[in-house]
Amino acid sequence: MFNLIDNTLVFASYGNIFGLSNITISPMDIVLAYLVAILISIIVAFALKIPLLPSKPYRYSFDVSAIYPTPIISMGVFSIFLVLNYTFMYNGLVLAVIIGILSALFVKYLFDFVFPKPLNEDERDEINE
């Protein structure tokens, strides 16, 4: 995993392997943009009234929360843009804000449609009968 992060930092900061990028970004700018994406996604999730933690028991809960999967989705989408060498404006900070907002909206309104919750044992028995 850390090798993937290291490769992302190297490719995004020095241009891609084909030399198509004419803008270089420092690794600190990339880390700052990741932090902005994470913080914005959590703040917008709170504004949309997504709970901080899932319901108990945490281990078997499939409820969405502000801590998981909201920042994970924003980091993943932002990584895709960095690997594609698209940072938009201000070294990726504006893109990080946009992705943070969109990831919180995705988790609030579309996450259950894209990734449905598994059926519990009672619902499985009713379907099998």
Domain extent listing, the chain? 2-128
In tens, the pLDDT along 97-128 reads 999 999 999 999 999 899 888 777 665 555 66
Task: Please give the radius of gyration of the chain, using alpha carbons only, rounded to the nearest integer.
Answer: 18
H or E stretch including 123? Answer: helix 121-128
- 70-84 per-position pLDDT tens digit: 999 999 999 998 888
Q: In Å, how far are 14, 39, 106, 107, 109 from 113, measured between CA atoms?
A: 38, 25, 10, 10, 8
3-state secondary structure string, 50-77? CCCCCCCCHHHCCCCECCCEHHHHHHHH
Looking at residue 91, the DSSP 8-state letter turns out to be G
The predicted model scores a pTM of: 0.76
Q: Is pLDDT of 41 > 60?
A: yes
